[in-house]
Structure 1
Amino acid sequence: MKNSSRIAVGVAGAVAGYLATFVLLSLFDFGNRADPITSGLLGLFVYSPIGAIAGAVFANWLVRRSGEDAGSGSVAGNSLKSLGVVVLLCVAGIGIYIAYAYATATPWLNRNGGNPLLVFEVRFPAGVTVPTSDKGITIELQTDLNTMPGEVTPAAFYRDGDQPVIAGEVELAFRTSHRQLAVNVEGQPNRIYPIDLTARAPHTPEFGTWRRLADGSEIRYRAKWPGKT
């Protein structure tokens, strides 16, 4: 058996020894019942690691005793190598978890400040009258995490043939794929437009395609990140 295989056997023995020790401690209710938290911590970080060491040594001893690789290192040496691999795997796992936890600790899209924007245009059916200023138009981004008031940009209003088009923007503060834009024009029914962006809402320089509601109105939009056009 190759030395790397012996180390792998030792790693398996260490994991089995850790788990077996922890299970046995739990089954026999080992520790101070009046202080179960301390008992649990001792089991996790003291007694179970001792079981892991015993498991690694025992596994390497069994392989050594089989006589298949008498010249591939001592039991103690290979056990130490196996435990070293286990420690490295644990450190790597903890590091990955910490990195993931840090990245997802808050759902903010841009924790460094300067939130991206949802830039949108709404095209109304022919014959619908809309204000030529921001008076009488209310915009609100609704998500499962927050609501955010938006603003229209009257200078960007235009007509597409006989259809009026309004334009505006609203901040995208959080990572979530559950977004919708409420557009309320005074004297008209409230319109809710689903916003089909991924949770991270990557920057796009061009508007997407028009998306139609049942009433004939349409919306198109894009995500605009700070420093980009």
Structure 2
Amino acid sequence: MKSSLRIAAGIAGAVAGFIATIGLLELTGFGNRADPITTGLVALFVIAPIGAVIGLVLATKLATRKDDNSGGLARNSLKSLGVVVLLCLAAGVTYAVYAYTTATPWLNPNASNPLLVFEVRLPAEATVPTSPQGITIELQTDINTMPGEVTPYAFYRDGDQPVIAGEVELAFRTSHRQLAVNIQGQPSRIYPIDLTARAPHTPEFGTWRRLADGSEIRYRAKWPGKT
């Protein structure tokens, strides 16, 4: 029990020494104000840890000065230092996990983006512009918007209904996606895109999904190198 208290005292001393050193550096105007980044790194990773070690040793010494039977100063200091190092490693791992999970959620970092390949089946009375410039496509997410492209050679008719086709890049990992299709002379159409955040590759189109105006959409995610 006494050994545990001495180790706890050492940990508390290390924390106090770290904080006190940072405060002292701030009060004394330590470093080069023209280069605050380097100054901060030196203070945080060089000088403050020295203060933490000094605080650890002093606190351990105060806790062991009356009774040395359960272990010497050096042994208790090393135990306290070991615990502090483990806590720092745990904090570093926690921060790394947090930074990774909250970083920019690229779907395919350092490589080509996957594509959302889609077809829109319009009502029978709808007309399709003769020029692709009359059709604009935009993928809208909670992170970004991305212009898409139509694929005129893939247009066709399904009975009396015209079908237009196109594709747009999927840059980010998000489940909040919708596709805006604007055809000249027609109301704007917004289609929900029900893909998971990671948008896995699918070789075939999904089922048709209908809007209230009678138009329908089907789509799939196409990853680089796959068909």
Using structure 1 for the length normalisation, give the TM-score: 0.68
Per the TM alignment, residue 211 of structure 1 is displaced from its structure 2 partner at its CA by: 4.4
Q: Are 2:64 and 1:64 equivalent residues in the alignment?
A: yes
State whether residues 150 and 164 of structure 2, in contact with CA within 8 Å, keep that contact through their aligned partners in structure 1. no
Per the TM alignment, residue 195 of structure 1 is displaced from its structure 2 partner at its CA by: 3.4
Give RMSD over aligned pairs.
Answer: 4.1
1:110 pairs, out of 108, 111, 115, with 108
Match of 1:139 in 2: 137
1:31 pairs, out of 29, 32, 35, with 29
Per the TM alignment, residue 219 of structure 1 is displaced from its structure 2 partner at its CA by: 2.5
Q: Are 2:19 and 1:19 equivalent residues in the alignment?
A: yes
Amino acid at match of 1:147: M
Aligned residues: 224
Q: Note closer, same or farther for the CA distance 1:116–1:41 as it changes in structure 2 (3 Å cut).
A: closer
SS of aligned partner of 1:53:
helix
2:200 pairs, out of 195, 199, 202, with 202
Q: What is the CA deviation profile of residues 99-131 of structure 1, one whole-angstrom value per residue up to 9, with x for unaligned ones?
A: 876887765432332320102222323432336
Deviation above 6 Å: which 4+ runs of structure 1? 102-105
Q: Note closer, same or farther for the CA distance 1:81–1:33 as it changes in structure 2 (3 Å cut).
A: closer
Distance 1:42 1:136 in 2: 59
Distance 1:100 1:225 in 2: 27
1:184 pairs, out of 182, 185, 192, with 182
Match of 2:224 in 1: 226
Distance 1:39 1:184 in 2: 54
Unaligned segments of structure 2, at least 5 residues: none
SS of aligned partner of 2:139:
strand
Q: What percentage of aligned pairs have identical amino acids?
A: 68
SS of aligned partner of 1:203:
coil
State whether residues 32 and 39 of structure 2, in contact with CA within 8 Å, keep that contact through their aligned partners in structure 1. no
Match of 2:54 in 1: 54
State whether residues 176 and 200 of structure 1, in contact with CA within 8 Å, keep that contact through their aligned partners in structure 2. yes
Q: Are 2:145 and 1:152 equivalent residues in the alignment?
A: no
Deviates more, 1:203-212 or 1:94-103: 94-103
Deviates more, 1:172-181 or 1:219-228: 172-181
Q: Note closer, same or farther for the CA distance 1:138–1:25 as it changes in structure 2 (3 Å cut).
A: closer
Q: What is the correspondence of 1:91-106 to structure 2 with a 5 Å cutoff?
A: 93-94=91-92
Distance 1:187 1:208 in 2: 28
State whether residues 132 and 154 of structure 1, in contact with CA within 8 Å, keep that contact through their aligned partners in structure 2. no
Distance 1:2 1:62 in 2: 13
Q: Are 2:80 and 1:82 equivalent residues in the alignment?
A: yes
Q: Note closer, same or farther for the CA distance 1:208–1:89 as it changes in structure 2 (3 Å cut).
A: farther
State whether residues 137 and 185 of structure 1, in contact with CA within 8 Å, keep that contact through their aligned partners in structure 2. yes
Per the TM alignment, residue 30 of structure 1 is displaced from its structure 2 partner at its CA by: 1.6
Per the TM alignment, residue 50 of structure 1 is displaced from its structure 2 partner at its CA by: 3.1
Distance 1:22 1:75 in 2: 26
